Amino acid sequence: MNGSDSTSSAGSDTPRRSDATRGAILAAARERFATDGYERATIRAIARDADIDPSMVMRYYGNKEGLFAAAVAIDLRLPDVSGADRRRDAGRILVEHFLDMWEDNEVLTALLRVGVTNQAGAERMQTILRDQLLPVARQVCPDPEQVPARAALMASQLLGLALTRYVLRMPPAAGLARAEVVAWLAPTIQRYLSAPSP
């Protein structure tokens, strides 16, 4: 009976070890991609940072491109703004949500750092924003044909804030209180989403 329990315990430990290994690889990859950029980051350096053999990185992710895609896979978990006052509250809800995301999720910061210096990172960022911001813009935008342009304008403001506040850490931007950021940025996001076309 003890032998059976031991086997069962060992079997349940294997997925946990696998998950822990993957987690260590992804954490090391995000840090390395953010620090070195896509081109200079190597599988060998990432494996060394994760304290595992490089063959394990290849086993789980195949190559650097696969590892990068996994490391920066992100669900922005954007809120449903269809029930909000579309002319007043959607901008505030989105700005507050993005502040929560940037402050709690190092993946977004790593992706932004790579995105401004590397084509693969830029394309990944474009895909994430296109696939996840467009549906939100559709909920609020008065003209369906303008949804892509309005979503792009919204992204320009949110990414600009993230770049200056969390990546470059420019003192004026980094020093703003959260309430100040919301007060300044929310009306701009709201205007991009719902104002009449100029």
Which pLDDT tens digit goes with each residue over 135-186? 999 988 989 999 999 999 999 999 899 999 988 899 999 999 999 999 999 9
pTM of the complete model:
0.75
Q: DSSP letter at 52?
A: S
Is residue 6 pLDDT above 60, yes or no? no
Q: How do residues 83-116 score in pLDDT, each as one tens digit? A: 766 667 899 999 999 999 888 777 777 778 777 7
The two tokens of residue 12 are: 């349940």
Q: What is the largest CA-CA distance in the chain?
A: 76
Q: How do residues 59-86 score in pLDDT, each as one tens digit? A: 999 999 889 888 887 888 888 887 766 6
CA distances from 55 to 38, 42, 44, 61 (A): 19, 13, 9, 10
